[in-house]
Amino acid sequence: MAPISESDSDNEDWMSTIPEELWDIPLSSLAIPGSHDAMSYCLDITSSLVRSESDTFRLLDRVFYCFTRPLIYKWATTQETLRTVATWLSDHPKEIVILACSHFEGLSEKRHEDFIYSLKNIFGFKLCPRNADITLRGLWSSGHQVLLSYDDQAAARHKVLWKGIPYWWANKANADELLQYLERQKELGRPDGFFVAGLNLTADRCFIASHPQVSLKTLTMENWESVKKWLEDQKPGADPTNLNIIAGDFVGFIPFCSLVIALNKKLLKQRGP
Protein backbone atom coordinates (compact mmCIF):
# COMPACT_ATOMS: atom_id res chain seq x y z
CA MET A 1 0.00 0.00 0.00
CA ALA A 2 1.33 3.44 -0.92
CA PRO A 3 2.05 5.87 1.95
CA ILE A 4 -0.75 8.25 2.86
CA SER A 5 0.42 11.80 2.21
CA GLU A 6 -2.74 13.76 3.00
CA SER A 7 -2.42 16.35 5.76
CA ASP A 8 -4.47 16.55 8.93
CA SER A 9 -2.98 19.79 10.22
CA ASP A 10 -4.52 23.21 10.94
CA ASN A 11 -7.59 21.84 12.77
CA GLU A 12 -6.79 23.14 16.25
CA ASP A 13 -9.25 26.05 15.86
CA TRP A 14 -11.91 24.35 13.79
CA MET A 15 -14.79 25.25 16.12
CA SER A 16 -13.97 28.94 16.05
CA THR A 17 -14.00 28.91 12.23
CA ILE A 18 -17.12 26.79 11.72
CA PRO A 19 -19.87 28.61 9.71
CA GLU A 20 -22.17 30.76 11.85
CA GLU A 21 -25.19 28.78 10.62
CA LEU A 22 -23.99 25.92 12.85
CA TRP A 23 -23.40 27.91 16.05
CA ASP A 24 -26.87 27.13 17.43
CA ILE A 25 -26.89 23.39 16.71
CA PRO A 26 -26.29 21.21 19.82
CA LEU A 27 -22.83 19.65 19.90
CA SER A 28 -24.58 16.28 20.07
CA SER A 29 -25.73 16.86 16.48
CA LEU A 30 -22.37 17.95 15.06
CA ALA A 31 -19.68 15.66 13.69
CA ILE A 32 -16.82 15.83 16.20
CA PRO A 33 -13.47 14.04 15.84
CA GLY A 34 -12.44 12.02 18.87
CA SER A 35 -9.44 10.10 20.08
CA HIS A 36 -9.42 6.77 21.86
CA ASP A 37 -6.99 7.10 24.78
CA ALA A 38 -6.69 4.39 27.40
CA MET A 39 -4.46 6.58 29.61
CA SER A 40 -1.68 4.01 29.20
CA TYR A 41 0.99 6.71 29.37
CA CYS A 42 1.41 5.60 32.98
CA LEU A 43 2.61 2.16 31.85
CA ASP A 44 6.21 1.21 31.38
CA ILE A 45 7.77 -2.04 30.27
CA THR A 46 7.95 -3.28 33.90
CA SER A 47 4.30 -2.60 34.78
CA SER A 48 2.28 -5.57 36.05
CA LEU A 49 -0.59 -6.93 33.99
CA VAL A 50 -4.11 -5.99 35.06
CA ARG A 51 -6.37 -8.52 36.75
CA SER A 52 -8.60 -8.74 33.66
CA GLU A 53 -5.90 -10.50 31.64
CA SER A 54 -6.38 -14.24 31.28
CA ASP A 55 -4.46 -16.69 33.45
CA THR A 56 -2.86 -18.11 30.30
CA PHE A 57 -1.55 -14.75 29.16
CA ARG A 58 -0.29 -13.92 32.64
CA LEU A 59 1.55 -17.28 32.69
CA LEU A 60 3.10 -16.53 29.30
CA ASP A 61 4.14 -13.14 30.64
CA ARG A 62 6.00 -14.77 33.52
CA VAL A 63 7.71 -17.38 31.33
CA PHE A 64 8.37 -15.33 28.20
CA TYR A 65 8.74 -11.85 29.72
CA CYS A 66 11.20 -10.66 27.05
CA PHE A 67 8.71 -11.53 24.33
CA THR A 68 5.38 -10.37 25.82
CA ARG A 69 6.44 -7.05 27.36
CA PRO A 70 7.71 -5.38 24.16
CA LEU A 71 4.43 -6.40 22.49
CA ILE A 72 2.29 -4.95 25.30
CA TYR A 73 4.34 -1.77 25.41
CA LYS A 74 4.15 -1.28 21.63
CA TRP A 75 0.36 -1.47 21.66
CA ALA A 76 -0.14 0.75 24.74
CA THR A 77 0.38 4.41 23.77
CA THR A 78 -1.33 7.71 24.61
CA GLN A 79 -1.34 11.39 23.65
CA GLU A 80 -1.71 14.12 26.27
CA THR A 81 -2.21 14.60 29.97
CA LEU A 82 -5.24 16.42 31.34
CA ARG A 83 -3.16 19.38 32.45
CA THR A 84 -1.84 19.76 28.92
CA VAL A 85 -5.44 19.80 27.71
CA ALA A 86 -6.34 22.55 30.20
CA THR A 87 -3.38 24.66 29.09
CA TRP A 88 -4.26 24.15 25.45
CA LEU A 89 -7.85 25.26 26.09
CA SER A 90 -6.64 28.49 27.69
CA ASP A 91 -4.77 29.21 24.47
CA HIS A 92 -7.82 28.34 22.34
CA PRO A 93 -10.80 29.92 24.14
CA LYS A 94 -13.38 29.00 21.45
CA GLU A 95 -12.55 25.31 21.31
CA ILE A 96 -14.64 22.79 23.28
CA VAL A 97 -13.52 19.30 24.35
CA ILE A 98 -15.61 16.35 25.50
CA LEU A 99 -13.75 14.08 27.92
CA ALA A 100 -15.13 10.66 28.87
CA CYS A 101 -13.87 8.89 31.98
CA SER A 102 -14.88 5.25 32.37
CA HIS A 103 -13.75 1.71 33.26
CA PHE A 104 -13.02 2.44 36.93
CA GLU A 105 -12.09 -1.10 37.89
CA GLY A 106 -11.74 -1.49 41.64
CA LEU A 107 -11.97 2.23 42.40
CA SER A 108 -13.36 2.96 45.86
CA GLU A 109 -15.82 5.76 46.61
CA LYS A 110 -13.04 7.77 48.24
CA ARG A 111 -10.80 7.33 45.21
CA HIS A 112 -13.66 8.51 43.00
CA GLU A 113 -14.03 11.66 45.05
CA ASP A 114 -10.28 12.26 45.05
CA PHE A 115 -10.17 11.87 41.28
CA ILE A 116 -13.19 14.13 40.76
CA TYR A 117 -11.59 16.74 43.01
CA SER A 118 -8.47 16.60 40.83
CA LEU A 119 -10.54 17.03 37.66
CA LYS A 120 -12.31 20.05 39.13
CA ASN A 121 -9.01 21.51 40.23
CA ILE A 122 -7.47 21.06 36.77
CA PHE A 123 -10.35 22.47 34.70
CA GLY A 124 -12.07 24.82 37.17
CA PHE A 125 -14.57 27.21 35.59
CA LYS A 126 -14.05 25.58 32.20
CA LEU A 127 -16.25 22.64 33.30
CA CYS A 128 -19.72 22.77 31.78
CA PRO A 129 -22.67 21.92 34.09
CA ARG A 130 -25.32 19.43 32.95
CA ASN A 131 -28.02 22.07 32.47
CA ALA A 132 -25.95 24.30 30.19
CA ASP A 133 -26.70 25.38 26.62
CA ILE A 134 -24.40 23.03 24.68
CA THR A 135 -24.40 24.93 21.43
CA LEU A 136 -21.22 26.67 20.37
CA ARG A 137 -22.86 30.06 20.83
CA GLY A 138 -24.04 29.14 24.33
CA LEU A 139 -20.69 27.70 25.43
CA TRP A 140 -18.72 30.65 24.05
CA SER A 141 -21.02 32.99 25.96
CA SER A 142 -20.58 31.11 29.26
CA GLY A 143 -16.86 30.42 28.92
CA HIS A 144 -17.35 26.68 29.46
CA GLN A 145 -14.96 24.54 27.41
CA VAL A 146 -15.05 21.06 28.94
CA LEU A 147 -17.95 18.61 28.93
CA LEU A 148 -16.81 15.92 31.32
CA SER A 149 -18.54 12.55 31.14
CA TYR A 150 -18.03 10.35 34.20
CA ASP A 151 -19.38 6.82 33.85
CA ASP A 152 -20.09 6.09 37.51
CA GLN A 153 -22.91 6.79 39.96
CA ALA A 154 -20.57 9.25 41.70
CA ALA A 155 -21.30 11.66 38.84
CA ALA A 156 -24.81 12.31 40.18
CA ARG A 157 -23.34 14.19 43.16
CA HIS A 158 -21.55 16.73 40.95
CA LYS A 159 -23.44 19.06 38.62
CA VAL A 160 -20.38 19.54 36.40
CA LEU A 161 -20.19 15.81 35.59
CA TRP A 162 -22.20 14.36 32.71
CA LYS A 163 -23.48 10.79 32.51
CA GLY A 164 -21.53 8.10 30.67
CA ILE A 165 -21.40 8.48 26.89
CA PRO A 166 -22.36 5.37 24.87
CA TYR A 167 -19.47 4.04 22.79
CA TRP A 168 -19.97 1.85 19.73
CA TRP A 169 -16.91 -0.38 19.88
CA ALA A 170 -16.63 -3.25 17.40
CA ASN A 171 -13.56 -4.89 18.99
CA LYS A 172 -12.35 -6.05 15.55
CA ALA A 173 -8.96 -6.02 13.82
CA ASN A 174 -10.52 -6.09 10.35
CA ALA A 175 -12.03 -3.03 8.64
CA ASP A 176 -14.87 -4.95 6.98
CA GLU A 177 -16.02 -6.44 10.29
CA LEU A 178 -15.67 -3.04 11.99
CA LEU A 179 -17.83 -1.29 9.40
CA GLN A 180 -20.44 -4.07 9.37
CA TYR A 181 -20.79 -3.64 13.13
CA LEU A 182 -21.25 0.12 12.84
CA GLU A 183 -23.88 -0.28 10.13
CA ARG A 184 -25.82 -2.67 12.37
CA GLN A 185 -25.66 -0.12 15.19
CA LYS A 186 -26.94 2.62 12.89
CA GLU A 187 -29.94 0.44 11.97
CA LEU A 188 -30.84 0.32 15.67
CA GLY A 189 -30.78 4.13 15.85
CA ARG A 190 -28.47 6.60 17.54
CA PRO A 191 -28.70 7.21 21.30
CA ASP A 192 -30.08 10.46 22.64
CA GLY A 193 -27.43 13.09 23.32
CA PHE A 194 -23.74 12.44 22.89
CA PHE A 195 -22.42 9.11 21.65
CA VAL A 196 -19.25 7.79 20.06
CA ALA A 197 -18.83 5.71 16.93
CA GLY A 198 -15.45 4.05 17.32
CA LEU A 199 -13.35 3.52 14.20
CA ASN A 200 -10.69 1.91 16.38
CA LEU A 201 -9.26 -1.33 15.09
CA THR A 202 -8.65 -3.60 18.05
CA ALA A 203 -6.17 -6.46 18.22
CA ASP A 204 -6.79 -9.12 20.84
CA ARG A 205 -3.97 -10.99 22.56
CA CYS A 206 -4.07 -13.86 20.03
CA PHE A 207 -3.71 -11.46 17.12
CA ILE A 208 -0.82 -9.66 18.80
CA ALA A 209 0.98 -12.88 19.62
CA SER A 210 0.59 -14.22 16.06
CA HIS A 211 1.56 -10.93 14.36
CA PRO A 212 4.69 -9.77 16.24
CA GLN A 213 5.74 -7.44 13.42
CA VAL A 214 2.40 -5.59 13.35
CA SER A 215 1.66 -2.49 15.44
CA LEU A 216 -1.54 -0.51 15.91
CA LYS A 217 -0.12 2.07 13.51
CA THR A 218 0.53 -0.42 10.70
CA LEU A 219 -2.86 -2.03 11.28
CA THR A 220 -4.51 1.37 10.91
CA MET A 221 -2.60 2.13 7.72
CA GLU A 222 -3.47 -1.21 6.12
CA ASN A 223 -7.20 -0.68 6.68
CA TRP A 224 -7.40 3.08 6.25
CA GLU A 225 -8.72 3.26 2.67
CA SER A 226 -11.77 1.13 3.51
CA VAL A 227 -12.47 3.10 6.69
CA LYS A 228 -11.97 6.42 4.88
CA LYS A 229 -14.48 5.56 2.16
CA TRP A 230 -17.12 4.66 4.75
CA LEU A 231 -16.40 7.76 6.83
CA GLU A 232 -16.87 10.12 3.89
CA ASP A 233 -20.42 8.77 3.40
CA GLN A 234 -21.56 9.51 6.98
CA LYS A 235 -23.74 12.41 8.13
CA PRO A 236 -24.06 14.33 11.41
CA GLY A 237 -27.39 15.41 12.85
CA ALA A 238 -30.22 14.21 15.07
CA ASP A 239 -31.74 11.62 12.72
CA PRO A 240 -31.53 7.95 13.81
CA THR A 241 -28.73 6.99 11.40
CA ASN A 242 -26.64 10.13 11.95
CA LEU A 243 -23.34 10.14 13.82
CA ASN A 244 -21.92 12.46 16.46
CA ILE A 245 -18.46 11.88 17.95
CA ILE A 246 -16.31 9.70 15.70
CA ALA A 247 -13.22 8.32 17.41
CA GLY A 248 -10.04 6.86 15.98
CA ASP A 249 -6.47 6.05 16.90
CA PHE A 250 -3.44 8.06 15.77
CA VAL A 251 -5.29 11.34 15.31
CA GLY A 252 -3.05 13.56 13.17
CA PHE A 253 -1.17 10.63 11.64
CA ILE A 254 -3.82 10.28 8.92
CA PRO A 255 -6.34 12.95 7.74
CA PHE A 256 -8.96 11.66 10.16
CA CYS A 257 -9.91 14.93 11.88
CA SER A 258 -10.22 16.82 8.59
CA LEU A 259 -12.61 14.23 7.20
CA VAL A 260 -14.82 14.21 10.32
CA ILE A 261 -14.99 18.01 10.52
CA ALA A 262 -15.85 18.23 6.81
CA LEU A 263 -18.98 16.14 7.44
CA ASN A 264 -20.57 19.22 9.05
CA LYS A 265 -20.82 20.82 5.60
CA LYS A 266 -23.68 18.39 4.97
CA LEU A 267 -25.66 20.14 7.73
CA LEU A 268 -25.38 23.40 5.81
CA LYS A 269 -26.90 21.75 2.74
CA GLN A 270 -29.77 20.41 4.85
CA ARG A 271 -30.53 23.86 6.28
CA GLY A 272 -30.51 25.49 2.85
CA PRO A 273 -29.76 29.17 2.02
Residue 102 near residue 164, CB atoms below 8 Å: yes
Residue of higher predicted confidence among 118 and 144: 144
User: Are 105 and 166 in a shared domain?
Assistant: yes
Residue 144 near residue 112, CB atoms below 8 Å: no
- Other residues' Cβ atoms within 10 Å of the Cβ of residue 201: 23
Mean pLDDT score, 236-244: 97
Mean pLDDT score, 236-241: 96
237, amino acid identity:
G
User: Are 128 and 262 in a shared domain?
Assistant: yes
What range defines the domain where residue 229 resides? 20-37+79-271
- How does DSSP assign 53-75, residue by residue? S-HHHHHHHHHSHHHHHHHHHHH
**Comparing C-alpha atoms, which of 73, 74, 75, 5 is closest to residue 253?**
5
- Which pLDDT score is estimated for 261? 96
Q: Strand pairing partners for 247?
A: 34, 198
Q: Look at the alpha carbons of 62, 63, 65, 71 in this order and tell me if their dihedral is positive or negative.
A: negative
Burial 1-33 (b: 16+ CB within 10 A, else e): eeeeeeebeebeebbeebeeebeebebbbbbbb
Q: Is residue 254 part of a domain?
A: yes
User: Are 98 and 138 in a shared domain?
Assistant: yes
Across the beta sheet with 161-162, what order do the strands follow?
97-101, 146-150, 161-162
User: Are 66 and 164 in a shared domain?
Assistant: no
Q: What are phi and psi of 93, to 5 degrees?
A: -65, -10
Q: Is residue 208 part of a domain?
A: yes
User: Are 179 and 191 in a shared domain?
Assistant: yes
Q: Is residue 5 part of a domain?
A: no
User: Are 33 and 166 in a shared domain?
Assistant: yes
Q: Is residue 191 part of a domain?
A: yes
| Share of residues in the chain with pLDDT > 90 (%) | 56
pLDDT above 90 (res 212): no
Q: Is residue 1 part of a domain?
A: no
- pLDDT 10s digits, 49-81: 444 344 443 443 344 434 444 544 444 433 377
User: Are 216 and 162 in a shared domain?
Assistant: yes
Q: Is residue 56 part of a domain?
A: yes
Long-range Cβ contact pairs of 178-184 (< 8 A, separation 24 or more): 178/223, 178/227, 179/226, 179/227, 179/230, 182/230
Residue of higher predicted confidence among 1 and 177: 177
User: Are 48 and 128 in a shared domain?
Assistant: no
Structural domain count of the chain: 2
Interacting residues of 244 by C-beta distance below 8 A, sequence separation 6+: 28, 29, 30, 31, 32, 190, 194, 195, 196, 197, 236
User: Are 26 and 103 in a shared domain?
Assistant: yes
User: Are 243 and 124 in a shared domain?
Assistant: yes
Residue 7 near residue 257, CB atoms below 8 Å: no
- Which pLDDT score is estimated for 249? 74
User: Are 98 and 231 in a shared domain?
Assistant: yes
Q: What is the CATH number of the domain that holds 95?
A: 3.20.20.190
- Which pLDDT score is estimated for 196? 96
User: Are 123 and 62 in a shared domain?
Assistant: no
Task: Name the pLDDT band for 44 (thresholds 50, 70, 90).
Answer: very low
Q: Is residue 174 part of a domain?
A: yes
Q: Is residue 13 part of a domain?
A: no
